[in-house]
């Protein structure tokens, strides 16, 4: 995620493409559409087989991206990558949930957050170095040996229990209708968000039709899951303890540990947090390259403060929850930092100082990291541990869907603002006009000063509007967090899942039981 945003201007220029937003949106779209299915499939097929399939899909998508000869090819490869990557993200959380009680899971959340930070910190620099040398394809090819190692490790060491039954019996328990509804609905929404204000106006039928159809489709999906699905992807008990944002009312017969008539702020916060964070990781490198003539690798280094800040904040937040058994104070602090940080970023201009644009993103990253670690707990605390897989796949779905909004909202704001600010004589030099501003970034340095300076100012002022919009979106999450109630954290796990026992372990345990039974007097 962090590397692709750094190399994107170079890739778009190399492939003579347009629709740059789809390079990111295709990944998010595929992962978003398929993530809800991972919870149900993990319950039916088992965790390990699904994880192996996910790693294989990610590797296949990486190979296709690396060999892409045009933008359509690259976007298709990114979609396959997203299918695998989304499943990996969801299944990793599910497997950890199988082994670790919620009360102790903060430390594990911190550990996985630290691993993510190392990868995210390396990504921009590796991507920038490869793009600078003209070898951006190797950014994708590098995933192949990494995926191979991961595949072998999962195959050899992750010997998890699998549900009994034949393949046909298992497939009959998959909610195929629900999968089809949520896949089509999510795709329609993403298409509308990608086109809106860029290729078509927001009032155009090309935008309104898929947006309305997709939104209604998501509502139909939730109703179908509640009323008709025999093996639902999203059991309604995930939402029935509160009135959800979409207007569903709590089930009066629900026996979950908590019920309320407040909006389901657990899922509001889960959805809101990725929008501003993904926007900053996607558009900050473009700001550096457009306004300061930074090379791809330098823009990656300048954006490193985001990744090096979010990791420690995830670790500290996770550990604090494990120690204190509380999550509300952490979330309040995180939301305040995110909103303040985004508002401060809006002061960046084309001539801002290094200290200015290096420090301010850290405030956003720290806040986002705290929220990333803490929203996990209010989602799971009201639910029985048997709902872990479904809850976590829905949790991952919201995060992934929000990532689409982060990129598309930011792109729509950028291109709409650029069309107002960019000089007409510069627009004529861009192959795609104002609707293809990303392709203009590598051209800025080759322009004379009388064109270069106005273009940089236009980029800086347009991106500042993105930060203002994201500050407002973060404010929604902050307000929602004020109504959150404290709930106790689970101390048990779902006994149906875990590691397979070795044959030698089974024999030893059986022998101990027989020995104890045969000699009661010794006991």
Full DSSP string of 319-356: HHHHHH---HHHHHHHHHHHHHHHHHHTT--TT--HHH
**Contacts for 187-190 with beta carbons within 8 Å, 24 or more apart?**
187/29, 187/33, 187/214, 188/213, 188/214, 188/217, 189/214, 189/215, 189/218, 189/401, 189/404, 190/25, 190/28, 190/29, 190/32, 190/214, 190/404, 190/408
Per-residue DSSP letter, 196: B
Mean pLDDT of the chain: 78
For the chain, the straight-line distance linking the first and the last C-alpha, in angstroms and rounded, comes to 59
- Residue 145: band (very low, low, confident or very high) from pLDDT cuts 50, 70, 90: very high
Full DSSP string of 395-410: HHHHHHHHHHHHHHHH
Residues 290-300 have pLDDT tens digits of 888 887 778 77
pLDDT at 237: 59
> Does residue 256 register a pLDDT over 80?
no
Please indicate, yes or no, if residue 187 is contained in any of the structural domains: no
Please indicate, yes or no, if residue 145 is contained in any of the structural domains: yes
Q: How many helices (H) and strands (E) does the chain have?
A: 21, 0
> Does residue 132 register a pLDDT over 80?
no
Model-level pTM greater than 0.85? no
pLDDT at 267: 66
> Does residue 265 register a pLDDT over 60?
no
Please indicate, yes or no, if residue 467 is contained in any of the structural domains: yes
Strands annotated E in 75-213: none
Look at 239 and 283; give whichever has higher pLDDT: 283
Q: Which residues contact 230 (CB under 8 A, 6 or more apart)?
A: 175
Q: How far apart, in whole angstroms, are the C-alpha atoms of residue 282 and residue 300?
A: 11
Please indicate, yes or no, if residue 521 is contained in any of the structural domains: no
Least reliable range by pLDDT among 93-97, 332-336, 428-432: 428-432
Q: How many domains does one find in the chain?
A: 1
Please indicate, yes or no, if residue 520 is contained in any of the structural domains: no
Name the range with the highest mean pLDDT among 9-23, 240-254, 286-300, 364-378.
Answer: 364-378
Please indicate, yes or no, if residue 452 is contained in any of the structural domains: yes
pLDDT at 240: 55
Each residue of 150-182: b (16+ CB within 10 Å) or e? Answer: bbeebeeeeebeeeeeeeeebeeebbeebbebb
pLDDT at 340: 95
Q: How far apart, in whole angstroms, are the C-alpha atoms of residue 416 and residue 192?
A: 15
335 φ/ψ sector (left φ>0, alpha ψ -120 to 50, else beta): alpha
High-pLDDT (> 90) share of the chain, %: 19
Name the range with the highest mean pLDDT among 102-106, 246-250, 314-318, 489-493.
Answer: 314-318
CATH number at residue 121: 1.20.1250.20
Please indicate, yes or no, if residue 496 is contained in any of the structural domains: no
> Does residue 521 register a pLDDT over 70?
no
Please indicate, yes or no, if residue 149 is contained in any of the structural domains: yes
Within 13 A of 26's CA, how many CA atoms are on the CB side?
Answer: 19
Q: How far apart, in whole angstroms, are the C-alpha atoms of residue 17 and residue 213?
A: 29
Across 155-179, average pLDDT: 80
- Residue 57: band (very low, low, confident or very high) from pLDDT cuts 50, 70, 90: very high
Q: How far apart, in whole angstroms, are the C-alpha atoms of residue 398 and residue 405?
A: 11
Across 110-134, average pLDDT: 77
Token pair for 411: 């792109």
> Does residue 82 register a pLDDT over 80?
yes
Token pair for 519: 């000699």
Reduced to 3 states (helix: H, G, I; strand: E, B; else coil), residue 245 is coil
Q: Whole domain around residue 327: which residue ranges?
A: 2-160+231-481
Token pair for 248: 């569903």
For residue 196, which phi and psi values (nearest 5 degrees)?
Answer: -60, 125
Reduced to 3 states (helix: H, G, I; strand: E, B; else coil), residue 24 is helix
pLDDT at 19: 66
- Cα-based distances in Å from 1 to 7, 124, 140, 308, 433: 11, 9, 11, 15, 27
Count of Cβ atoms closer than 10 Å to residue 292 Cβ: 17
pLDDT at 119: 79
Q: Which residues contact 120 (CB under 8 A, 6 or more apart)?
A: 1, 2, 306, 307, 310, 311
Instruction: Tell me whether residue 306 is exposed, middle or buried, using C-beta atoms within 10 angstroms of its C-beta: 0 to 12, 13 to 18, 19 or more.
Output: buried
Whether 139 contacts 130, CB under 8 Å = yes
Full DSSP string of 363-392: HHHHHHHHHHHHTHHHHHTTS-GGGHHHHH
> Does residue 242 register a pLDDT over 70?
no
Token pair for 329: 């104070």
Name the range with the highest mean pLDDT among 319-328, 416-425, 468-477, 495-504.
Answer: 468-477
**Measured in whole angstroms, how far is the alpha carbon of residue 268 from the centre of its chain?**
15
Residue whose C-alpha is closest to residue 92's, from 481, 445, 428, 399: 399
Look at 440 and 71; give whichever has higher pLDDT: 71
Across 416-421, average pLDDT: 81
Whether 368 contacts 309, CB under 8 Å = no
- Residue 250: band (very low, low, confident or very high) from pLDDT cuts 50, 70, 90: very low
Across 20-36, average pLDDT: 78
Least reliable range by pLDDT among 51-65, 197-211, 231-245, 430-444: 231-245
Q: How far apart, in whole angstroms, are the C-alpha atoms of residue 219 and residue 466?
A: 29
- Residue 147: band (very low, low, confident or very high) from pLDDT cuts 50, 70, 90: very high
Q: How far apart, in whole angstroms, are the C-alpha atoms of residue 219 and residue 205?
A: 21
High-pLDDT (> 70) share of the chain, %: 82
Token pair for 260: 């309320």
Q: How far apart, in whole angstroms, are the C-alpha atoms of residue 247 and residue 156?
A: 46
């Amino acid at each position: 995620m962090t590397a692709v945003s750094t190399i994107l201007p170079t890739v778009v220029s190399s492939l003579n493409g347009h629709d740059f937003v789809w390079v990111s949106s295709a990944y998010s779209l595929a992962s978003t559409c398929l993530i809800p299915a991972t919870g149900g499939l993990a319950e039916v097929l088992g965790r390990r087989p699904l994880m192996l399939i996910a790693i294989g899909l990610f590797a296949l998508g990486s190979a296709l991206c690396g060999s892409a000869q045009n933008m359509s090819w690259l976007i298709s490869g990114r979609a396959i990558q997203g299918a695998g990557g989304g499943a990996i993200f969801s299944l990793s959380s599910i497997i950890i949930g199988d082994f670790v009680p919620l009360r102790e899971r903060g430390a594990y959340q911190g550990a996985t957050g630290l691993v993510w930070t190392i990868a995210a910190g390396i990504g921009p620099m590796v991507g920038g170095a490869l793009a600078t040398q003209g070898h951006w394809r190797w950014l994708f090819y590098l995933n192949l040996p990494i995926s191979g190692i991961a595949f072998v490790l999962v195959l050899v060491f992750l010997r998890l229990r699998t549900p009994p039954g034949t393949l046909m019996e298992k497939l009959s328990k998959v909610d195929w209708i629900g999968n089809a509804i949520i896949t089509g609905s999510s795709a329609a929404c993403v298409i509308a968000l990608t086109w809106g204000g860029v290729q078509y106006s927001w009032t155009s039928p090309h935008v309104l039709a898929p947006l309305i159809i997709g939104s209604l489709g998501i509502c139909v999906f939730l109703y179908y899951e509640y009323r008709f699905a025999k093996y639902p992807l999203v059991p309604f008990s995930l939402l029935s303890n509160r009135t959800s944002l979409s207007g569903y009312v709590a089930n009066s017969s629900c026996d979950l540990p908590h019920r309320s008539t407040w909006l389901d702020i657990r899922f509001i916060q889960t959805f809101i947090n990725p929008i501003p964070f993904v926007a900053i990781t996607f558009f900050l490198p473009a700001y550096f390259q457009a306004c300061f003539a930074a090379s791809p690798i330098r823009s990656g280094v300048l954006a490193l403060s985001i990744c090096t800040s979010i990791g420690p904040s995830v670790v500290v937040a996770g550990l604090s929850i494990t120690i204190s058994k509380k999550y509300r104070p952490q979330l309040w602090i995180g939301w305040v930092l995110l909103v303040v940080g985004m508002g401060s970023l809006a002061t960046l201009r084309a001539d801002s100082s290094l200290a200015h644009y290096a420090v301010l993103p850290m405030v956003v990253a720290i806040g986002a990291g705290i929220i990333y670690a803490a929203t996990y707990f209010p989602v799971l605390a009201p639910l029985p541990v048997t709902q872990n897989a479904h809850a976590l796949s829905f949790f991952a779905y919201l995060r992934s869907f929000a990532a689409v909004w982060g990129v598309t909202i930011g792109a729509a704001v950028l291109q709409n603002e650029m069309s107002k600010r960019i000089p007409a004589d510069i627009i004529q030099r861009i192959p795609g006009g104002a609707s293809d501003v990303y392709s203009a970034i590598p051209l800025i340095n080759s322009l004379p000063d009388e064109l270069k300076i106005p273009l940089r100012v236009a980029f800086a002022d347009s991106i500042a509007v993105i930060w203002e919009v994201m500050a407002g979106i973060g404010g929604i999450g902050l307000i929602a967090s004020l109504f959150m109630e404290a709930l106790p954290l689970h101390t048990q796990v779902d006994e149906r899942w875990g590691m397979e026992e070795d044959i030698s372990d089974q024999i030893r345990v059986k022998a101990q039981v027989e020995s104890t039974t045969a000699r009661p007097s010794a006991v």
